[in-house]
Amino acid sequence: MTIHNRSNPAARTEVPRLEDKTIQPIPLNERHGTARDLFTIWFGSNIMIMTMVTGGLATTVFGLGFVPAIVGIILGNAVGAIFMALHAAQGPQLGVAQMIQTRGQFGSYGALLIVVLVVVMYLGFFAANLVFGGEALAAVSPGISDDAGIVVIGVVSVVATIFGYRIIHAYARFLSIVAGLALVLAFVWILFVHGLPSTFLSEGNFTWAGFMGTVSVAALWQLAYAPYVSDYSRYLPQGTGSTPAFWASYSGCVLGSLFPMILGALVGTLAVTMGADAANVQIPGSMGALLQPWTMVVMGIFCLGVAAQNSINLYCGVLCSLTIGQTFKPSWLPRAKTRSVAAILLFTVALMVSLFARDNFILFYTNFLSFLMYVLVPWTAINLVDYYLLRHGDYKVEDFFKRDGGVYGRFNWVAIGAYLAGALIQVPFSATAVYTGPVAAAMGGVDISWIVGLGVVSPLYYVAARVFRKKPVTSSLEALSLESDLV
């Protein structure tokens, strides 16, 4: 297929339907698309079951009433997406996957600390999506068991990952329309046909612990996309401005997450008003009961969203896994066949996790979100401070692929030290099912760990980097068009 390069209309290149690139820089003559593509991939892929389950935590696990739940969901999404969208603007400039670019902050070997944790994150989200999507698919298809539904969702995700970047973007564009209409139908049916009981707004209680828990979960939903976003913007022309990339990513991810989360909170509140135990509410099952006779249509479309989101998780997980391997063999630049094999292997691991932990998955999921908060917050602070305040987007991309890290070295102990400090500083402020820190306990269980993490790591890394690190290097972005230089 011939793609017109938007940054140079005269340039054309043959871009195969089966993506042949993995972690190598995207040559300038293969760049294509516009910032609008960033809106649809984050809008369409977020309209799915797990987004609704996450929103439902506000009125079930955290016990909030519907109004404070909405306020918490809006606040968390609006703040968390700022950091996510700032990462998205890096892709067109550097043309490499997000975790490859992390070598510019942590060094070639130091980055492995983050990359391995991010692979665990992708597998966790992939497994969670398999469980929630599989259960929803089984609920609307009586002939399919939960386990069979899990396998079906997973296989669709693997196929999309094998085809790669273009098919995933196309899938998300399709879902932006179809899933968006299904979301509108769900709201209209529940609000105006099923109706709300007179006691609806009096259900639940406001607590600062529950409110901040809701804000934190919503913010973390957005922050968790930070390691993803450059993977889906790295093919855009280098001339794509940071501002359009930021706002397209921000608006797509906020709107695509916000309304499904509000729907989940709505369903959770309705389930409680109808006598369900808040701690045991199953959002997919409760939603299916409320949407009759549209259950199969709406829930079926939301299951398509699960497969789209899981293809995003699996694709990024594969890129990170290949990044780990390439660290030890710099001359290795894997292609489509390697991506396919890696996708199948990671799918197998996630499938085993989802089948094993399926019966207690809400507990697993909430603890998993807490784990992500500790590991992602300090990384996103370091990456953004380094990119925007210290180097101003000016990196030697070819040095990312050298065993010794080139000008970035094997280990950047300033970044590693700031990262570990950021992870540890959050512990006293954390309030989870597993552990409540002394400060959080003194505050009545209010968790502000991620706010403290961002507030401490950002200035700490900025000052330490200016004092101890080498002067920022001069970039060689022209090397993006000379892929052969890396071999």
Q: What is the pLDDT of residue 361?
A: 65
* Dist CA 291 CA 388 (whole Å): 46
Lowest average pLDDT, out of 192-196, 284-288, 372-376, goes to 372-376
Phi, psi of 4 (to 5 degrees): -85, 125
What's the rounded mean pLDDT across residues 156-172?
A: 92
Percent of the residues in the chain that have a pLDDT greater than 70, as a whole number: 91
Q: What is the pLDDT of residue 158?
A: 93
Phi, psi of 415 (to 5 degrees): -65, -45
Residue 422 CA from chain centroid, whole number: 20
Q: What is the pLDDT of residue 426?
A: 93
Single pTM value for the model: 0.88
Q: Is residue 235 predicted with pLDDT exceeding 90?
A: yes
What's the rounded mean pLDDT across residues 370-378?
A: 83
In the three-class reduction of DSSP (H, G, I as helix; E, B as strand; rest coil), residue 13 is classed as strand
Lowest average pLDDT, out of 43-52, 144-153, 383-392, goes to 144-153
Q: What is the pLDDT of residue 2?
A: 40
Q: The tokens of 462 are what?
A: 């900025």
Distances, alpha carbon 253 to alpha carbons 50, 93, 217, 221, 380, in Å: 14, 21, 15, 10, 17
Q: The tokens of 193 are what?
A: 């046909």
Q: Is residue 39 predicted with pLDDT exceeding 60?
A: yes
In the three-class reduction of DSSP (H, G, I as helix; E, B as strand; rest coil), residue 421 is classed as helix
What's the rounded mean pLDDT across residues 435-451?
A: 90
On the CB side of 94, CA atoms within 13 Å amount to: 32
pLDDT band at 128 (very low <50, low <70, confident <90, very high): confident
Q: What is the pLDDT of residue 6?
A: 42
Residue by residue, DSSP assigns 70-114 as: HHHHHHHHHHHHHHHHHHHTHHHHH-S-HHHHTHHHH-TTTTHHH
Q: In the predicted model, what is the mean pLDDT of the chain?
A: 88
Question: What secondary structure letter does DSSP report for 236?
Answer: S
* Amino acid in position 216: S
pLDDT band at 436 (very low <50, low <70, confident <90, very high): confident
In the three-class reduction of DSSP (H, G, I as helix; E, B as strand; rest coil), residue 12 is classed as strand
pLDDT band at 473 (very low <50, low <70, confident <90, very high): very low
Cα torsion angle, 97, 99, 100, 102, sign = positive
pLDDT of 20-38, one tens digit each? 889 999 999 889 899 999 9
* Amino acid in position 19: E
On the CB side of 429, CA atoms within 13 Å amount to: 20
In the three-class reduction of DSSP (H, G, I as helix; E, B as strand; rest coil), residue 31 is classed as coil
What's the rounded mean pLDDT across residues 36-62?
A: 93
Q: The tokens of 76 are what?
A: 């968390």
Angle at 187 between CA 185 and CA 191, to 5 degrees: 120
